[in-house]
Amino acid sequence: MKNEFIPIHLTHLNGAALPPRPLTHIPSFEELEEAEFRKNVKSGTDKMLQEFSFKEQMSVSFLPLIIENLAWFYADKVLEQAARDRIELLKKLGRAVKQLKQGYYEELKKDLDYRHLKTIESISLQFREKFEYQFTIFWFTCNREFKRTMPDYPYIDMRTDAVVALLMIRFLREHNRKMDGLIAQKLGHCEHSVMKPAMDKLETCMDAYAGEMGKYDFQNKDIALCINILRNNLEKIEFQLDD
């Protein structure tokens, strides 16, 4: 059955030219620098639109946001579990994650308008619902590895959510590296993508929630299979542009 996802505009990708100024205005160095930056952004965007298929453009621009949303979804579950179990030791860490999430979305709002943000949230929700069974298997696979390697650990369910969040962030890095290779292949060069600072910090926080992971096998073949299924399912997302 074909996925019905909310149409997306790409207008936010286009670099806008600076407004015309009176002839009497002498631009400052900062203004000239900004104008050059916008010119380069527009040039790079135009070339990307020419060289990349629509699906490739979405894989570069929007899929990372979907993966980030999945990581935050599991991070929220971690906080809910910690609050439910009243783990006093983790209260300060929980406040830090909430502040981190708020800062993450404030940064997103600088590049995406309200409509685009709601689109990302909607697609992420549809994706989780459509592949709920696969996500459930993913969770229980990670949970089983916890019980196999560290059966005496307390709060295993909360730690499992933290592990899944960590795996989402690791998968995000893998996806970004793959997109770097695609960009280099298409354009002949590529500056390596940089993870959002908030995602790096979220990884540190989720690692703290998971606790000592020395015995946990992240390379477990069943976990690797779940990651492959996630990768394949993400490729099934169909983005559309409205007129």
> 3-state secondary structure string, 176-223?
HHHHHHHHHHHHCCCCCCCCCHHHHHHHHHHHHHHCCCCCCCCCCHHH
Is residue 243 predicted with pLDDT exceeding 80? Answer: no
Candidates 130, 160, 101, 144; CA nearest to 230 is: 130
Q: What does pLDDT average to over the chain?
A: 81
Is residue 222 predicted with pLDDT exceeding 80? Answer: yes
More confident residue, 156 or 42: 156
State which of 16-20, 45-49, 136-140, 232-236 shows the largest mean pLDDT.
136-140
More confident residue, 220 or 189: 220
Candidates 157, 163, 161, 165; CA nearest to 101 is: 165
Whole-number pLDDT of residue 1? 44
Alpha-carbon gap, residue 178 to 77, rounded angstroms: 28
Whole-number pLDDT of residue 56? 76
Tell me the average pLDDT across 137-157.
Answer: 93
Alpha-carbon gap, residue 66 to 128, rounded angstroms: 10
- Contact criterion met (CB below 8 Å) for 75 and 208: no
More confident residue, 237 or 132: 132
Is residue 2 predicted with pLDDT exceeding 60? Answer: no
Tokens encoding 36: 């050059």
Using one digit for the tens of pLDDT, what is the confidence trace for 96-134?
A: 999 999 999 999 998 888 888 898 899 999 999 999 999
Using one digit for the tens of pLDDT, what is the confidence trace for 140-149?
A: 999 999 999 9
Give 237's pLDDT tier (boundaries 50, 70, 90): confident
Whole-number pLDDT of residue 9? 41
Is residue 89 predicted with pLDDT exceeding 80? Answer: yes
Is residue 20 predicted with pLDDT exceeding 60? Answer: no
Alpha-carbon gap, residue 144 to 156, rounded angstroms: 10
Whole-number pLDDT of residue 11? 38
Alpha-carbon gap, residue 163 to 169, rounded angstroms: 10
Tokens encoding 128: 């989780």
Whole-number pLDDT of residue 33? 52
Whole-number pLDDT of residue 44? 52
